[in-house]
């Protein structure tokens, strides 16, 4: 890690908002994991691999 | 104070007066950003066979969301639009809450906020390029602009969440109402190319296709006159990311000691944000125009 990057990360970590952002990002990752576990990613795949007639203005 | 005056004077001596920058970031080189936007759009829509055959990509990558508004029915799309994914899950008969799409939006939003709008959204790039078309009466601000910007939150709540959740068919499935009734990106990226390339789809055209093309045409014309009208007033994805702008990890900071209050940043902003007052305004798409024009490099 370069000196500049090191400074940037220290700045992010020392500010409250930076910490909140990192915590929310981590929570988002956990939610994605949970969503995948309960089959949501498969539901997205099923929708996305077929032409969405509503999306293109036909259905 | 003296130091500020001196700095202010130095900034102006370079010809970067606030008045000289009114009406947008003229003079600010945006082509590097457009290059990144275009590269990202090509990378995430690189299924060229789809364009050749009038079909869409059907691989497993499609379960992954891309950060920008990118219709998954675009023949080249390799990933899923997060707003489309959200409606697909909310509208399915066996799920009503979406942890996957919401988690993705939280993850991206908390890290970079509306940086996505400025740098990683194909439909944002299209609007950026359309706005470069010369027109004598470009509109930068008008009465009701601020209130109209709240419309995207209403669209997010009603068309992306509530309608797919509650307006369901006999099987309990809700349609993706935002995609169906509003989204011009779907028409441009998916509807037009697929209809042009696919005979069977052409025979199924009806009033909805006409309606969506009218909306697309309005968006195109407005984009020439107003900077990013879809992003400002309609886009539910921008609405989600805007909520995260103030707390996202990577955000703008203004060094108040360096700042000479010349107003150059505010005048360069085509989203009508004043970075000195709020460097992480929900409307900021982090295009970087303000950073480039700052004469004292106070914005980081």
> In this structure, what DSSP letter does residue B157 have?
I
Position B254 confidence tier, pLDDT thresholds 50, 70, 90? very high
Q: Quick one: what percent of chain B has pLDDT higher than 70?
A: 91
At B298, which CATH number? 3.30.70.20
Position B292 confidence tier, pLDDT thresholds 50, 70, 90? very high
In this structure, the answer to whether residues B150 and B286 fall within a common structural domain is no
Alpha-carbon distances, residue B190 vs B27, B101, B137, B179, B273 (angstroms)? 34, 21, 31, 11, 33
Q: How far is the C-alpha of B52 from the C-alpha of B54, rounded, in Å?
A: 6
How much of chain B is in helix, strand and coil states, percent to nearest 5? 55, 5, 40
Question: What is the pLDDT, as a whole number, of residue B288?
Answer: 94
Q: What is the pLDDT of residues B189-221, one digit of tens each?
A: 999 999 999 888 888 899 999 999 999 999 999
**Higher per-residue confidence, A8 vs B186:** B186
Q: How far is B41 from chain A (nearest CA, A)?
A: 18
Q: Is the pLDDT of residue B2 over 60?
A: no
Q: B57 and A40 in contact (C-beta within 8 Å)?
A: no
Asked if A21 and B191 come within 8 Å (Cβ–Cβ), the reply is no
Question: What is the pLDDT, as a whole number, of residue B30?
Answer: 87
Main-chain dihedrals φ then ψ at residue B150, nearest 5 degrees: -75, -15
In this structure, the answer to whether residues B98 and B219 fall within a common structural domain is yes
In this structure, the answer to whether residues B189 and B256 fall within a common structural domain is no
Asked if A55 and B102 come within 8 Å (Cβ–Cβ), the reply is no
Residues in chain A with CB shorter than 8 Å from the CB of B103 are 27-35
Q: Is residue B18 part of a domain?
A: no
In this structure, the answer to whether residues B183 and B73 fall within a common structural domain is yes
In this structure, the answer to whether residues B257 and B247 fall within a common structural domain is no
> What's the average model confidence in pLDDT over B4-24?
40
Q: Is residue B283 part of a domain?
A: yes
Question: What is the pLDDT, as a whole number, of residue B89?
Answer: 96
Look at residues B251, B275, B291 and tell me which one is the last residue of a structural domain: B251
The minimal CB distance from A44 to the residues B63, B110, B201 is found for B63
Asked if B208 and A44 come within 8 Å (Cβ–Cβ), the reply is no
Alpha-carbon distances, residue B12 vs B86, B226, B299 (angstroms)? 48, 28, 17
Q: Looking up tokens 């009466």, which residue turns up?
A: B137
Residues in chain A with CB shorter than 8 Å from the CB of B191 are 55-58
Q: Is residue B15 part of a domain?
A: no
Alpha-carbon distances, residue B288 vs B21, B69, B112, B187, B218 (angstroms)? 15, 20, 13, 29, 28
In this structure, the answer to whether residues B228 and B262 fall within a common structural domain is no
In this structure, the answer to whether residues B100 and B154 fall within a common structural domain is yes
Q: Is residue B24 part of a domain?
A: no
In this structure, the answer to whether residues B269 and B237 fall within a common structural domain is no
Q: How far is the C-alpha of B255 from the C-alpha of B243, rounded, in Å?
A: 23
- Residue B295's domain spans which residues? 252-300
Asked if A57 and B212 come within 8 Å (Cβ–Cβ), the reply is yes
Position A36 confidence tier, pLDDT thresholds 50, 70, 90? very high
Tell me what ipTM this predicted complex has.
0.85
Alpha-carbon distances, residue B50 vs A53, B194, B197, B198 (angstroms)? 16, 9, 10, 11
Question: How many C-beta atoms surround the C-beta of residue B7 within 10 A?
Answer: 18
Q: Find, in chain A, the residue whose alpha carbon is nearest to that of B179.
A: A55
Q: Is residue B192 part of a domain?
A: yes
Q: How far is the C-alpha of B126 from the C-alpha of B145, rounded, in Å?
A: 22
In this structure, the answer to whether residues B179 and B219 fall within a common structural domain is yes
**Higher per-residue confidence, A11 vs B276:** B276
Interface check for A27 against chain B (CB to CB < 8 A): the answer is yes
Question: What is the pLDDT, as a whole number, of residue A41?
Answer: 96
In this structure, the answer to whether residues B238 and B296 fall within a common structural domain is no
How much of chain A is in helix, strand and coil states, percent to nearest 5? 80, 0, 20
Number of domains forming the structure of chain B:
2
Q: Which tokens go with B186?
A: 């779907």
Top mean pLDDT of B26-40, B149-163, B244-258 is at B149-163
- CA-based angle B191:B37:B188, to the nearest 5? 10
The minimal CB distance from A58 to the residues B56, B89, B201 is found for B201
Q: Is the pLDDT of residue B16 over 70?
A: no
Q: Is residue B99 part of a domain?
A: yes
The minimal CB distance from A55 to the residues B176, B201, B246 is found for B176
| Of residues B279, B260, B259, the one with CA closest to residue B269 | B279
Q: Is residue B195 part of a domain?
A: yes
Q: Is the pLDDT of residue B13 over 60?
A: no
In this structure, the answer to whether residues B153 and B290 fall within a common structural domain is no
Asked if A21 and B110 come within 8 Å (Cβ–Cβ), the reply is yes
- Over chain B, what is the mean pLDDT? 90
In this structure, the answer to whether residues B269 and B125 fall within a common structural domain is no
Q: Is residue B92 part of a domain?
A: yes
């Amino acid at each position: 890690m370069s000196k500049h990057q090191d400074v940037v990360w220290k700045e992010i970590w020392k500010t409250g908002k930076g910490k909140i952002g990192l915590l929310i990002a981590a929570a988002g990752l956990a939610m994605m994991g949970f969503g995948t576990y309960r089959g949501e990613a498969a539901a997205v795949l099923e929708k996305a691999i077929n032409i969405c007639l509503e999306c293109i203005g036909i259905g | 104070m003296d130091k500020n005056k001196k700095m202010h004077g130095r900034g102006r001596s370079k010809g970067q007066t606030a008045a000289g920058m009114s009406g947008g970031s003229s003079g600010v080189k945006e082509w590097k950003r457009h290059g990144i936007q275009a590269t990202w759009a090509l990378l995430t829509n690189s299924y060229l066979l789809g364009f050749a055959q009038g079909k869409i990509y059907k691989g497993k990558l499609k379960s992954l969301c891309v950060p920008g508004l990118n219709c998954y029915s675009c023949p080249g799309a390799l990933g899923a639009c997060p707003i489309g994914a959200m409606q697909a899950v909310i509208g399915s008969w066996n799920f009503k809450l979406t942890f996957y799409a919401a988690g993705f939006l939280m993850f991206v939003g908390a890290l970079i906020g509306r940086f996505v709008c400025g740098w990683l959204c194909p439909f944002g790039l299209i609007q950026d390029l359309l706005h470069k078309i010369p027109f004598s009466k470009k509109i930068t601000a008008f009465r009701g602009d601020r209130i109209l910007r709240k419309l995207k939150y209403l669209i997010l709540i009603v068309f992306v969440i509530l309608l797919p959740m509650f307006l369901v068919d006999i099987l309990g499935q809700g349609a993706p109402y935002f995609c169906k009734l509003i989204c011009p990106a779907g028409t441009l990226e998916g509807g037009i190319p697929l209809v042009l390339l696919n005979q069977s789809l052409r025979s199924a055209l009806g009033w909805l296709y006409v309606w969506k093309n009218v909306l697309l045409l309005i968006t195109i014309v407005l984009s020439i006159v107003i900077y990013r009208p879809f992003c400002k007033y309609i886009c539910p994805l921008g609405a989600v990311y805007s909520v995260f702008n103030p707390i996202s990890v990577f955000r703008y900071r203004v060094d108040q000691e360096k700042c000479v209050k010349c107003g150059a940043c505010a005048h360069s902003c085509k989203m009508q944000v004043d970075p000195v007052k709020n460097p992480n305004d929900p409307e900021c798409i982090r295009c970087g125009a303000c950073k480039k024009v700052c004469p004292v490099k106070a914005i980081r």
